[in-house]
Amino acid sequence: MRPVIVCTEYRGVFYGMMNGGDATLDTIALKGARCAIYWGTTRGLFELAETGPTKKSMVSARADITLRKVTAVLEVTPVAQANWEVA
């Protein structure tokens, strides 16, 4: 399992743990996923992957989900993962 941020065609932005071999561009399953409802970053979406959500960000509760219509998968740094876990 590895931490990723997944973006969808429907403009959804989700953080969660992805099993490395269980993904296609059509469908990705995430464990313990959180939706970035609002990311109060100063450097855009990629800041969520580099350093995680800020104090101004709004993040959902956790759920295991399957996402469809994937447009991007961003690798998450250890620093960002720690911040997502406490957001």
Domain locations in the chain as residue ranges: 2-67
Instruction: Kindly report, residue by residue over 7-29, the tens digit of the pLDDT.
Output: 999 999 999 999 876 566 688 99
| E strand residue ranges, the chain | 2-8, 13-18, 27-38, 58-59, 63-68, 70-75
Q: Provide the token pair at 62.
A: 């956790």
pLDDT of residue 64: 98
Q: Which pTM was predicted?
A: 0.92
Please, what's the largest Cα pairwise distance for the chain? 34
More confident residue, 21 or 5: 5
Residue 13 pLDDT: 98
pLDDT tens by residue, 53-84: 999 999 999 999 999 999 999 999 999 999 99
Q: Two tokens at 12?
A: 């959804």
Tell me if 59 sits within 8 A of 36, measured CB to CB.
Answer: yes
Task: Please state the φ and ψ torsions of residue 48, each to the nearest 5 degrees.
Answer: -60, -35
pLDDT, tens digit (0-9, with 9 covering 90-100), for 25-51: 688 999 999 999 999 999 999 999 999
